[in-house]
Amino acid sequence: MNGSKPPVPSGFGIFKNTTCHTEKKISVFFSVIFMTVGILSNSLAIVILMKAYQRFRQKSKASFLLFASGLVVTDLFGHLINGTIAVFVYASDKDWIRFNQSNVLCSVFGICMVFFGLCPLFLGSVMAVERCIGVTKPIFHSTKMTSKHVKMMLTVVCLFAVFIAFLPILRLRAYQIQASRTWCFYKTEHIEDWEDRFYLLLFSCLGLLALAISFLCNAVTGVTLLRVKFKSQQRQGRSHHFEMIIQLLAIMCVSCICWSPFLVTMANIGINENRSLETCETILFALRMATWNQILDPWVYILLRKAVLKNLYKITRRCCGMHIMNLHMWELSSIKNSLKVAAISESPSSSKQINKQSLNSMGQ
C-alpha cells in the first residue's frame, strides 16, 4: 500500500544484477573431483597415521599423531559434508527457492563452512604449540602431555569451533546465500549493522591468529631443532630433525598460502562493507584456495615421511651425484634419541656429570 518492497525470506539476500556466472557442467565436475580427491587423500593419511600410532607408542610422538589424526579426520568430514551439499546445489541448478524454503539447508551449509574452516586452523595451531613444547621442554612434555590431555584438548578445540559456527543461529541471524548462489556463509552483501561485520571480522581474525601462532611456534621449533642438531656430535636423530623441519615448513607454507586470501578477503569485506563483481570473483577464487588446503594437508603426512624422504634422497643423489650425507644416518635416527639429547642438555644433572668427567680426565 505504501509502496514498500515485499519481505525477503530469511537467507535469500537481495542479489545484484551482476552475479558470478559459473557453468553448471564444469562446476559440478570440479566439485566432484575436489571432493573425491580430498576424501581419498585424507582416508589414506588416516590409515598411515593409525599404523604409525600403533608402531610408535612413545608419549612424545603419540600426542603428535593424535593431533594429526584429528586434523585429517576433520578435513575428511569437511570434504564429505560440504562437497556433497555443493554438488547437490550445482546439480539442482542453484534453485535455492525450490529446495530451501525454510532456510535449513543454507543454515547447515553455513555452519559446516565455518566449523570445517576454523577447526583445522585451530588444530594446526595447537599442533604447533604441542611440537614447540615437546622440543623445547621435553621433560615437561613427557610428564604432562598424556593421551588423556590430548583428547581433552581436541574436544575443547572442536567445541569452540562449534560455538563460533552456531553463534549467528543463537543470535537469530541466518546464514546467507552468497552472490554466486553456490554456497552459504555470513552476510557479505548489503551489510546493515555492526553484528554482520562482527561475524566476518571474528572469523578472519581467529583464522589469522591461528596462522600466526602456527608460524611463530613452528619457527621456534625449527630453530631449536637446528641448534640441537649442530650442538650434538652424535649422529642419532639427525634425520628426524631433518624430517621434522621439512614437515613444519610444508605445513606452514600450505596453511598460509591457501587460507590467507580467503581470510584477508573476509576481513576486507567486514571493514569496507562493499561488494562488486570483482570481489565476488575474488571470493570464489579464495574459497577454492582454502579448499585446496584440506586436500594438501594429508599429503604432507603421506609424502614427507622418513621412508619417502630416504627414497627421494637416493634418487637425488643418483641423479645429481651429490654427497650430502651418509645414508646410515637414516637408520640410526629415532625421536627417542633426539628428545634424550634435548632433555640431557637442559637438565642440571648433566652439567655435573660433565664436570666430574673433566676432573677425572685431568687427574689422570
Cα–Cα distance, 141 to 144 (Å, whole number): 5
Q: Residue 297's closest CA among 107, 117, 55, 33?
A: 117
DSSP β-ladder status, 184-185 and 176-177: antiparallel
Structure letter (DSSP) for residue 137: -
Between 306 and 289, residue with greater pLDDT = 289
> pLDDT tens, 13-28?
544 444 565 555 566 7
160 class by beta-carbon count within 10 Å (0-12 exposed, 13-18 middle, 19+ buried) = middle
Beta bridge pairs of residue 184: 177
Residue whose entry in the numeric block shows the C-alpha cell 580467503: 262
Question: Does pLDDT of 111 surpass 90?
Answer: yes
pLDDT band of 318, cuts 50, 70, 90: confident
Contact between 259 and 155 under an 8 Å Cβ cutoff? The reply is no
DSSP code per residue over 1-33 = --SPPPPPPTT-----SS-----HHHHHHHHHH
Structure letter (DSSP) for residue 341: H
Q: Residue 216's closest CA among 125, 144, 95?
A: 125
Between 233 and 56, residue with greater pLDDT = 56
Cell numbers given for 200: 566476518
Contact between 296 and 37 under an 8 Å Cβ cutoff? The reply is no
Contact between 202 and 193 under an 8 Å Cβ cutoff? The reply is no
Question: Does pLDDT of 139 surpass 90?
Answer: no
> pLDDT tens, 266-295?
998 888 875 554 567 888 889 989 988 888
Contact between 189 and 16 under an 8 Å Cβ cutoff? The reply is yes
* Alpha-carbon distances of 203 from 111, 261, 271, rounded to whole Å: 12, 13, 13
> pLDDT tens, 112-128?
999 999 999 999 899 88
Cα–Cα distance, 250 to 52 (Å, whole number): 20
Domain annotation for the chain: domains and CATH numbers: 24-319 (1.20.1070.10)
Cell numbers given for 173: 541471524
* CA atoms within 13 A of residue 185's CA, in its CB half-sphere: 28
Cell numbers given for 39: 576424501
Structure letter (DSSP) for residue 281: H
Cα–Cα distance, 211 to 188 (Å, whole number): 23
Cell numbers given for 285: 577464487
Q: How many residues does the chain have?
A: 364
Structure letter (DSSP) for residue 236: T
Amino acid at the residue 224: T
> pLDDT tens, 29-54?
777 888 888 889 888 888 888 887 77
Q: Residue 203's closest CA among 330, 137, 118?
A: 118
Q: Residue 263's closest CA among 201, 217, 218?
A: 201
Cell numbers given for 162: 562449534
> pLDDT tens, 211-233?
999 999 988 888 888 787 777 65
Contact between 120 and 75 under an 8 Å Cβ cutoff? The reply is yes
